[in-house]
Amino acid sequence: MAPLTALDVYPEYARELTGDWTLPDVCVTFRSTKSFTGALHGNRTHYRAHFVSRLGDAAFIRAYNEITGSYGRLTWVRPALPSDDLRRCARKSRGFALSLTVNNLYHAWFHAVPAFEAFATTLWSSAANTTFIPLVASNAGDWTGADRAWRAHAWEFSLRALTSQPTDAIAASLGELLGTPCTCFHRVDGAVAPFNPRAVTAIAGVILYLCT
């Protein structure tokens, strides 16, 4: 089965999400995109998430990118369409989405700390029943896949404070999520806040952008 279609939404109908956020009754699917910046220019980044809302929600999710030193659109949420046939999707209760810029431990530090803080206040008691959702940036490239048994060292590093699962279990859970055309959740919590003093000035730019 093919993933859900990556249809964009009009900005005038979409709300803006950044920092910590919650999406009820939403499905996630993954796609590949081509990078137009940096060392990966012209290369494809695999398994980039986007969301489909069963409640008709539309939103842009903006996150801090330590490579560019600014906030940008990481992914988006679009309303579900009858043609999506969400009955074919896998079903999960809770999801937790966090940023992964590239499969590199240095870059993972920027997102692992705020993800832990958000997770500890919202989902700690239900960690065993939570599915972790990677929100990879366009810089991530070929960061994981079946050919490497779904392992990604920066992804595992980001989850180490959130779960006691062993390496093989983390990889298997990631493979199940990425290898399924779509997965629907009762609720997805997200954490895309930065752990970086430069981001204070960057978020001021986002606020200015949203107010103009």
Q: Return the pLDDT at 60.
A: 96
Q: Return the pLDDT at 147.
A: 92
Q: Return the pLDDT at 199.
A: 54
| Cβ 111 vs Cβ 41: under 8 Å | no
Q: Residue 137's closest CA among 207, 52, 210, 36?
A: 36
| Cβ 124 vs Cβ 135: under 8 Å | no
Q: Return the pLDDT at 13.
A: 83
Q: Return the pLDDT at 123.
A: 67
Quote the CA–CA distance of 145 and 107 in Å, as a whole number: 20
Quote the CA–CA distance of 86 and 84 in Å, as a whole number: 6
Whole domain around residue 48: which residue ranges? Answer: 11-210
Task: Kindly state whether residue 3 falls inside one of the protein's structural domains.
Answer: no
Q: Return the pLDDT at 69.
A: 80
Each residue's pLDDT expressed in tens, for the chain with a length of 212 residues: 778 888 888 888 899 998 899 999 999 999 988 655 555 555 678 899 999 999 999 999 999 888 888 888 999 999 999 999 999 999 999 999 999 988 888 888 888 888 888 888 776 666 678 999 999 998 888 899 999 999 999 999 999 988 889 999 999 999 999 999 999 999 999 999 877 655 554 444 444 444 55
Task: Kindly state whether residue 1 falls inside one of the protein's structural domains.
Answer: no
Q: Report the DSSP pairing between strands 183-191 and 20-34.
A: antiparallel
Quote the CA–CA distance of 86 and 74 in Å, as a whole number: 23
Task: Kindly state whether residue 93 falls inside one of the protein's structural domains.
Answer: yes
| Cβ 132 vs Cβ 98: under 8 Å | yes
Task: Kindly state whether residue 97 falls inside one of the protein's structural domains.
Answer: yes
Task: Kindly state whether residue 127 falls inside one of the protein's structural domains.
Answer: yes
User: Encoding tokens for residue 205?
Assistant: 């730019």
Sign of CA dihedral 182, 183, 186, 192: negative
User: Encoding tokens for residue 164?
Assistant: 């006691």
Q: Return the pLDDT at 182.
A: 96
Q: Return the pLDDT at 90.
A: 97
Task: Kindly state whether residue 19 falls inside one of the protein's structural domains.
Answer: yes
| Cβ 173 vs Cβ 128: under 8 Å | no
Q: Return the pLDDT at 53.
A: 97
What three-state secondary structure class fits 173? helix
Task: Kindly state whether residue 137 falls inside one of the protein's structural domains.
Answer: yes
Task: Kindly state whether residue 2 falls inside one of the protein's structural domains.
Answer: no
Q: Return the pLDDT at 138.
A: 85
Looking at the structure of the chain, the number of domains it has is: 1
Q: Residue 9's closest CA among 52, 41, 47?
A: 52
> Reading across the β-sheet that carries 70-79, which strands appear in turn?
15-17, 59-65, 70-79, 44-53, 20-34, 183-191, 90-100, 130-136
Quote the CA–CA distance of 128 and 209 in Å, as a whole number: 39
